[in-house]
Amino acid sequence: MKIVPAILAGGSGTRLWPLSRADRPKQFQKFMGDTSLLQDTMLRVAGNDAYSDPIILSNEAYRFVVAEQAQEVGVDLRATVLEPAMRNTAPAMTALAAIVAQEDPDALIHVMPSDHAIETDDAYWNAITAAAAAAAKGMLVTFGVSPDGPNTGYGYIQSGDSVGDGVSKVARFVEKPDAVTARRMLDEGGYFWNSGMFLFKASVFLAEAEALAPTIADAAKASVAQAVVDLDFTRLDEAAYGASPEISVDYAIFEKTAQAAVAPAEIKWSDLGAWGSIWKASERDADGNKASGPHTIDRAKNSLVVSEGAHVALQGVEDIAVVATPDAVYVGKLSESENIKSLVQSIKANEDTATMATTHRTSYRPWGGYSQILNGARFQVKRLFVKPGAKLSLQKHHHRAEHWVVVSGTAEVTVNEDITMLTENQSVYIPQGAVHRLANPGTILLEVIEVQSGAYLGEDDIIRIEDEFGRN
């Protein structure tokens, strides 16, 4: 029996701001190399004989990003399930269990976050094997990572009586401790970091959810029963799913059930919850520095540089993180980077910078995307990039006119009843209220400069008449 990998990819945290924002959170970012954290997670199970094709749970905002990133690394998905609202892990995992149980109630499900760094060595696979054996016997297994120090940023699991194969009953869960408590637990032994990974039989998990969290179970099962298939996506019913309380699976089920077990894993693992974690999980030079993007480093030690364009020069410092995006630069101590949340809250509270906390200058769409270049009173300038063979929706605007200038590639432009082919340095004017569409019929990326002018320039002034991606 193959294990069903279920990957949670709907989070929108800002602990790795300014790179991670709500419109492009950390699971889709490439912190550790040429692949994103989500892609790393998919590749961890893809092609492995122990696993079937993965199920991804995400949401409307990220559905096309998920599909694109799976295609980039050649991973076939069993399904992409869309949450209509964020309700934390208990409702999400219950819905996933209900979906899997429709085909096979006794199937084993391995639930895993999409944004962790994990070294898949022999110790990792030994932990999977042991957990699967315990799950097959009816245990709800969580994975406990052997701590390498008194870390106060993780929750802990205390192991209890053995159930065989190195797996033990869970004695208790411990919230993120202070430094003294963390040190005491390490000295006592039998405590593990809570990894946020789980392995269980679908039917057993559902039975425990029904007994211990009936409101969640009823809402999740109803949302699955009333789900709608849209292209390659499965949309959970919004009203049914929204009836569930927002709560983690630890609080709702694992801290209450008598079936909870922990499988120890002596592996290199990090939840990459801060820039200090990124630095620690990365390969560093002889001076302890990790740098990506344009940079020059002189006499700096134990520091991190991440740049998406600007040349970062670092000199004579230690324990520093510098993260530069086109519209924001973060500078702080690596050792204090877990406190970035308060900084982001301050940025969000300021009217002039609020959008910077949640939105990148470049936004991605299923057809390509666009970058903000310039904003002013009654006008804004964007760079559009359209994938080969892709096209935007047939649409119109009530409040703005547009002017398109082709920078590279070939554009097929529809304006009302007229269809025109444009090449480099050619342009077209789209009057306010005109029905229009931009398409790339060529084999190379189409780049267009768009100048908008009008009384209102918001993205919600888009009236879609036809869209191949099913957007309203």
- Please give the pLDDT value at position 301: 98
- Please give the pLDDT value at position 232: 83
Identify the DSSP state of 177. Answer: P
Distance from C-alpha of 225 to C-alpha of 101, rounded to nearest angstrom: 12
- Please give the pLDDT value at position 469: 84
For 394-423, what is each residue's pLDDT tens digit?
Answer: 999 999 999 999 999 999 999 999 999 999
Cβ neighbors of 413 (< 8 A, separation 6 or more) are 404, 419, 420, 421, 422, 428, 436, 437, 438, 439
- Please give the pLDDT value at position 472: 75
pTM over cut 0.85: yes
Sheet holding 463-466, edge to edge: 418-422, 411-415, 436-439, 394-396, 463-466
- Please give the pLDDT value at position 60: 87
- Please give the pLDDT value at position 92: 97
The residue ranges of the chain whose pLDDT is under 50 are none
Q: Which domains does the chain have, with CATH numbers?
A: 4-270 (3.90.550.10), 287-343 (no CATH), 362-466 (2.60.120.10)
- Please give the pLDDT value at position 11: 87
- Please give the pLDDT value at position 230: 84
